[in-house]
Chain A
Amino acid sequence: MTTPAPEVAARPTGPDDAALDALLRAARAPSPAGLALSLGARLVQARLGLADPPTVDRYVVARKLGEGGAGAVFLATDPRLDRPVAIKVLAPREGDGRGARGLGVEEARALARLAHPNVVVVHDVGEQDGQVWLAMEYVAGGTLREWRARNPDAGWFEVARHALGAARGLAAAHDKGLVHRDFKPDNVMVGDDGRARVADFGLALSDGQAPASGLVEGTPSYLPPEVLAGAPPSALGDQYSFCASLRELLVAGQGAPSEAAPASPPDRPPWPEALSALVARGLAADPPARWPTMNAVVERLEALVLAPPDPRRDALIARVRGIWLDGVQATALLGADPVPLDVVAVPEAVEHASPAASTRRGRRTTATLAHELTRAYGALLLLGGPGAGKTTALLGLARELLERAERDPTAPVPVVLNLASAAGARGTLAAWVADELVTKYGLPRRRALQWLDDDALVLLLDGLDEVPAARRRAVAQRVNAYRAAHPTAVVVACRDATWAALGVRLAAGLALRIEAPSEAALDALCAPPPGAAWRALAAPDAPRPTPLEVSLWLRATTTSDAATTEAPAASPGYDAFIAQALARPPRLDAPRRARVLAGLAWLAATMARVGTSDLWLERLQADWLPTPGQRRAAKALGVALLAAIALAWNAVVTELAGRRAIVGPILAGATVALAIALNRGLAIRPRERLRWSPRASLRRAPFLLASGLVAGLVIGALYIVWVNLVLCTLGALALAVAVGLEPRDAATRIRPAQGLRQSLTTALTVAAGTGLLAGLAVGYLGVSLVMPHVGPESTLLHLPDPRLSLFLSAGGFAALVAGLVYGGTAVTLHLAVRLVIAARSPLPLRLGAWLDRAADRGLMRRVGGGWMFLHRTLLDHLARRAEAPPQAAPGPDA
């Protein structure tokens, strides 16, 4: 093995035949000679039962861990201390001045004295069969190079963090007078605990390394130039090697240019200037020009890596995790082993599709998707049929990106948004995104805009197919416009057919269609024949099937090519599946089962008609009811309930306050009208937490001022005109200010109907507050001006003071209005709808509990504070049933 390796890349053309022969012969693999070879052979013998396990000194060798330039490494056990050690057998050296051992006893002793968390501890050293061996601390994990290969999309921050550990180890060794002489990423171990440890000190090899850099493109050398010129290794030389390694690791994550987005790669590398400066100085050719010691390098790395945490960012991460990952059951799928998705590129959905992208096809885990998204393409479009797994993939992506954001403070934070509400938003998508960030994630507006501009967020946009058809194209175009103006990475999930029908292409990105699971995946799950599979899924004691399992089962049982059509051709299995689910304990008798089934069908039909796949009680509307008659009934009932509340309240107040009876009904009517007007119709809008927005106040101020003036005139006609006018105007102004209170969606929707509960609380709170204020204002401030000749006429109470009466009536009136406007209307109208549903559909009044029971049976699942059917196709199936109930099933009652 003494033939020197010929220099391949020194010539512009390849070798001729004779040279090729010589090259091939000479490049025979570094066969583990001597001790390593015999250890390897003995291990195989031991496994085959032909010999005892080999030993090195007292250490019993268990297996080979790997092979490096310096020699082979084996895992062994120290029987005396009963702990694992790594035994490194150094390759035998031939004829270099240092003799057969590169490591002298002195050096070994010095190494043994070096105890530092970032240095692999050396326990023992010896010689066997003419070769030197070292017994070291066993670090489970791998080298830094392997870590980088496994995590190509880890950001500069994580690389720098590991480098900091290695730098500390090097610095500690230098402080003890030791020089590494051969620092490179293969000599840094990264344990499972994430701690970097430097290994192989002083085992410098001067043979076999490429003499100078650049001879073979893409593989740098770590040897400092002065050492190549013949100078002895030094601490500054180690620094050079360290910086060369760091640079290589940073650059290694960039990927080949041909894979990148068509936009040219940026001129600046994606890591801070300070890091570039650190590396550049450490790579100075002249040793004195480098940093004075490794400690200086350590300091600078610490400044970059140990940055103070950002509490807002941490809060955002926690919120995303709380809403989307913890509350949604679907992510149970994405626990330990991410399911690989079969994807194929869809270049026609994208503009400027790069040629490499159009031929992509294959398996992707969500980790790979995350990598592709953020590294190369900037925008990702996920297409697929219903139930193909787009939302699951999106949430899996969110989880991956979130974990990365937690590890790396410089990585962008993912936020999941549903485009359904973008349809109604005016203005650009950026404004809508900012609003969503403010209302749904609780970010201050300024911060949200800043982060959007700084590319500190990744937007995961789901629900394009939930946008009303007429607005879809506009929304898609706005996404493109947004992409053009902002550097934020964006993922859009959409149904295949929906996107194709839009006629819009995503601007510059990658589009992937998630295909139905492959045969192999099916084999894995449906090993028994398909019939048995669904029986197994629906068996009474089987665990609840996950949506993915249902997808796979569907694929196995549907007869047509379900991957390309929107709906499966036939799901006779679903009926049986549902029947099995209903047969689970707690037991139901036949009429009850039929009623539950009818209720599910009714629900599914409604959800299909409305176009939503998840059901949140807060979002229930009168317009969701199936027939116009029912809708009118619900609305009328709602208004009637409002009127009843107003009348009753006014009656009570009138009785208590002693006002004239006739005012009651008028006031009630006016109140209801005002409430409905301010609610902008009879849609149910839950008012949850409130936030004041001056713009909203200003918008409604004119209307309210006008109302105030009118009211003032009316009341003034009964009493003294101008003072009442003034008071009413002032009151209207106050109302305008109050009306600026905007609803803000609850931060985390976890409990069902939480929105409604909060609406009620808000209503009562605001009512009490407003009532108090208004009562005080009118009753005690305005009394002397307003109503001089009114006396107590109460039949229930004898009020000593007319002002108290005014306090009660004015306060009562204001409380009623405020309560209704700030949530009372929503709760009342919702109650009306629920009453109609209970009367006219198979569903009961206590809907929440009923839905929970359906979820327990496995037909639905809880999603945060709402419910979804187990699978979109189950919803479709049930909806079809509702329209054309099969003859075989027993008819539902009522």
Chain B
Amino acid sequence: MPTDNDPELFARWAAGDRAAGAALVDRHYGAVERFFATKAPERVEDLVQQTFLACVEAAGRYRGEAGFRAFLFGVARNLLFEHIRRRVRDGRATPDLGSRSLVDLSPGVSTVVSRDLAHRQLVLTLQELPLDLQTALELYYWEELSIDELAAVLDVPPGTVKSRLFRARALLKERLEAAATPVGERPRWLRTP
């Protein structure tokens, strides 16, 4: 979808133009919603709303180098971390939340909305990866962010982004392989047909 006039719309919105804001929301709502759906499914609506709100409130900090979407997802990522820190016991103690995985931080995040089982399996496996790796994969493949945009979102140099993507894929592959092996012995009535 055309995103060239995003910065312009954003500037107009920050200046008070409501229609511009509505248009921006229309354009990016889906992507932000997808972002939170796999990481904080129980609070998606609130977080999406907060993201847009935080964006317009932090409009002063928007430089425009990496594009609006990078800014948007950077804000979303920060909100996600804040949300996790509040919910999780050790959250405050962990400086680098991006290196922990969702499964590690809050077991039970498995209410994945899925249209089919393969998708569900994939998302569950993605949640086992460290948050930043999960984010990188999703934003790259699903929202088709460029390497530069990803670098801005994750706040690392572009070279690191590439290596992270590489590592993320390797990890994902490993996990998918592990998940494909049968679960151990269970009593008969416990096994599904």
Interface residues of A (CB under 8 A from B): 5-9, 11-15, 17, 20-21, 23-25, 27-32, 37-38, 40-41, 43-45, 47-51, 63-64, 66-69, 91, 146, 149, 208-210, 213-220, 248, 251, 254, 257, 265-269, 276, 283, 362-363, 520
Complex Cα distance A629/B110, Å?
71
24 contacting pairs across A/B (C-beta < 8 A): A5-B116, A6-B118, A7-B118, A8-B180, A11-B180, A12-B180, A14-B176, A20-B172, A24-B172, A27-B122, A27-B123, A29-B113, A30-B114, A31-B34, A37-B29, A41-B26, A48-B49, A67-B113, A213-B192, A215-B117, A216-B118, A219-B192, A251-B189, A269-B190
A contact residues around B48 at 8 Å (CB): 40, 44
Q: Mark B181-193, 1 if CB is under 8 A from A, else 0.
A: 1111111011011
Residue B135, interface by CB 8 Å: no
| Interchain CB contact (< 8 A) of B186 among A215, A219, A257 | A257
Nearest chain A residue, comparing its CB with the CB of B180: A9
| Interchain CB contact (< 8 A) of B113 among A17, A47, A68 | A68
| Interchain CB contact (< 8 A) of A30 among B111, B115, B182 | B115
A contact residues around B100 at 8 Å (CB): none
Nearest chain A residue, comparing its CB with the CB of B110: A149
Residue B96, interface by CB 8 Å: no
Complex Cα distance A23/B115, Å?
15
B contact residues around A47 at 8 Å (CB): 49
Nearest Cβ on chain A to B17's Cβ, whole angstroms:
9
Whether A44 pairs with B25 at a CB distance below 8 angstroms is: yes
Taking residues whose C-beta sits less than 8 angstroms from the other chain, chain B's interface range is 35 or more
Whether B169 pairs with A48 at a CB distance below 8 angstroms is: no
Residue B75, interface by CB 8 Å: no
Nearest Cβ on chain B to A565's Cβ, whole angstroms:
25
Whether A216 pairs with B177 at a CB distance below 8 angstroms is: no
Whether B118 pairs with A51 at a CB distance below 8 angstroms is: no
B contact residues around A11 at 8 Å (CB): 180
| Interchain CB contact (< 8 A) of B89 among A27, A28, A210, A362 | A362
Q: Mark B103-138, 1 if CB is under 8 A from A, else 0.
A: 000000001011111111111000000000000010
Main secondary structure of the interface of B (DSSP, over half): helix
Nearest chain A residue, comparing its CB with the CB of B48: A44
Whether B22 pairs with A51 at a CB distance below 8 angstroms is: yes
Complex Cα distance A12/B45, Å?
38
Complex Cα distance A45/B52, Å?
9
Complex Cα distance A811/B154, Å?
98
Listed residue (A14, A17, A31, A63) with the most chain B CB atoms within 10 angstroms of its CB: A14
Nearest Cβ on chain A to B179's Cβ, whole angstroms:
8
Quick one: given A8-B122, A269-B189, A283-B193, are A29 and B49 in contact (CB under 8 Å)? no
Whether A216 pairs with B121 at a CB distance below 8 angstroms is: yes
A contact residues around B190 at 8 Å (CB): 251, 254, 257, 265, 269
Complex Cα distance A254/B182, Å?
19
Quick one: given A32-B30, A269-B189, A363-B89, are A44 and B52 in contact (CB under 8 Å)? yes
Complex Cα distance A37/B180, Å?
34
A contact residues around B101 at 8 Å (CB): none
Known: A6-B118, A13-B180, A265-B190. 10 other contacts (CB 8 A): A9-B179, A15-B176, A20-B169, A21-B141, A23-B122, A32-B30, A48-B49, A48-B53, A213-B192, A257-B184
Q: Mark B157-176, 1 if CB is under 8 A from A, else 0.
A: 00000000000010011101
Nearest chain B residue, comparing its CB with the CB of A70: B115
Complex Cα distance A33/B120, Å?
19
Complex Cα distance A216/B123, Å?
14
Complex Cα distance A14/B76, Å?
32
Whether B115 pairs with A41 at a CB distance below 8 angstroms is: no
Whether A14 pairs with B118 at a CB distance below 8 angstroms is: no
Whether A29 pairs with B25 at a CB distance below 8 angstroms is: no
Interface residues of B (CB under 8 A from A): 18-19, 21-22, 25-26, 29-30, 33-34, 37-38, 44-45, 48-49, 52-53, 56, 89, 111, 113-123, 137, 141-142, 169, 172-174, 176-177, 179-187, 189-190, 192-193
Complex Cα distance A69/B183, Å?
27
Whether B177 pairs with A14 at a CB distance below 8 angstroms is: yes
Whether B45 pairs with A13 at a CB distance below 8 angstroms is: no
Whether B26 pairs with A48 at a CB distance below 8 angstroms is: no
Listed residue (B111, B122, B137) with the most chain A CB atoms within 10 angstroms of its CB: B122
| Interchain CB contact (< 8 A) of A48 among B52, B121, B122 | B52
| Interchain CB contact (< 8 A) of A69 among B21, B29, B115, B193 | B115
Whether A216 pairs with B117 at a CB distance below 8 angstroms is: yes
Nearest Cβ on chain A to B182's Cβ, whole angstroms:
6
Listed residue (B44, B48, B118) with the most chain A CB atoms within 10 angstroms of its CB: B118
B contact residues around A31 at 8 Å (CB): 30, 33-34
B contact residues around A257 at 8 Å (CB): 184-186, 190
Complex Cα distance A622/B52, Å?
76
Nearest Cβ on chain A to B87's Cβ, whole angstroms:
12
Whether A265 pairs with B187 at a CB distance below 8 angstroms is: yes
Quick one: given A8-B121, A29-B37, are A50 and B25 in contact (CB under 8 Å)? yes
Q: Which 9 A-B pairs have the closest CB atoms?
A: A14-B177, A41-B29, A5-B118, A14-B176, A24-B141, A30-B115, A50-B21, A50-B22, A28-B142
B contact residues around A251 at 8 Å (CB): 189-190, 192
B contact residues around A29 at 8 Å (CB): 34, 37-38, 113, 119, 123, 142
B contact residues around A48 at 8 Å (CB): 21, 25, 49, 52-53, 56
Nearest Cβ on chain B to A61's Cβ, whole angstroms:
12
B contact residues around A20 at 8 Å (CB): 169, 172-173, 176
Nearest chain B residue, comparing its CB with the CB of A39: B29
Nearest Cβ on chain A to B129's Cβ, whole angstroms:
12
Whether A41 pairs with B25 at a CB distance below 8 angstroms is: yes
